[in-house]
């Protein structure tokens, strides 16, 4: 569940409890949270949780993606300033009409599983190490939501996890796809 040095979370009965350290943490708060507190998501029922470096990702029962935390390089919300943001729906044209199943993120990227694992989208403030899975590295340039390129035969994806600059996808067949920064051995090679 956690990919961040600043946040953790758990869900029970549609409620989210969270704890974190540091200022400007992943819950739109600017104070440390040492014991679990309930995160308010405007009465939304949730079916999934994910974390990114300084962000919290929430998948509503409706399939909408919600987020809170530091809007670094406008990775969460294109229309909001950088800095701490309270939980709000991620409003991206590329997500319109699609059901988000799961989401995770790294230091400057987010990956979502959509439509029962049939589609995977990623975006971020850069793709320096190929962590977006778009088939090529692009340093220091914002990359909008695009499909992750998986080799054929294409399998349904059921889980996503991200580190600072790498990403992992697990298919229903049990195959793991790894991409991004492998300099510390995080890609298993």
Instruction: Give the per-residue pLDDT at 20.
Output: 56
Taking 70 as the pLDDT cut, the residues of the chain under it are 1-31, 39-44, 140, 189
Under DSSP, the state recorded for 72 is G
For 47, how many CA atoms within 13 A lie in the half-sphere containing its CB?
Answer: 10
Contact indicator for 123, 140 with CB cutoff of 8 Å:
no
Q: DSSP string spanning 112-148?
A: EEEGGGTEEEEEES-BTTSTT-SSS-BTTS-EEEEE-
Sheet holding 157-162, edge to edge: 157-162, 166-171, 176-180
Helix (H) or strand (E) holding 66: strand 65-70
* pLDDT, tens digit (0-9, with 9 covering 90-100), for 86-135: 888 898 999 999 999 999 999 889 999 999 999 999 998 878 899 999 98
CA distance 2 to 175: 21
Instruction: Give the per-residue pLDDT at 10.
Output: 45
Looking up tokens 């300084």, which residue turns up?
54
Is pTM beyond 0.75? Reply is yes
């Amino acid at each position: 569940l956690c990919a961040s040095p600043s946040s953790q979370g758990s869900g029970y009965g549609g409620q989210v409890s969270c704890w974190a350290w540091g200022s400007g943490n992943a819950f739109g708060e600017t104070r440390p949270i040492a014991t679990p507190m309930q995160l308010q998501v405007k009465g939304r029922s949730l079916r999934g949780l994910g974390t990114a470096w300084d962000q919290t990702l929430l998948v509503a029962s409706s399939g909408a993606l919600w987020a809170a935390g530091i809007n670094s390089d406008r990775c969460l919300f294109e229309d909001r300033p950088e800095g701490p943001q309270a939980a709000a729906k991620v409003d991206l044209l590329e997500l319109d009409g699609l059901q988000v199943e799961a989401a995770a993120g790294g230091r400057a990227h987010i990956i979502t599983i959509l439509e029962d694992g049939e589609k995977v989208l990623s975006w971020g403030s850069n793709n320096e190490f190929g962590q977006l899975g778009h088939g090529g590295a692009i340093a220091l340039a914002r990359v909008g939501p695009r499909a992750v390129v998986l080799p054929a035969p294409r399998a349904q994806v059921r889980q996503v996890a991200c580190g600072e600059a790498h990403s992992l996808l697990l298919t229903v067949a049990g195959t793991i796809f790894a991409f991004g920064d492998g300099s510390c051995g995080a890609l298993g090679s």
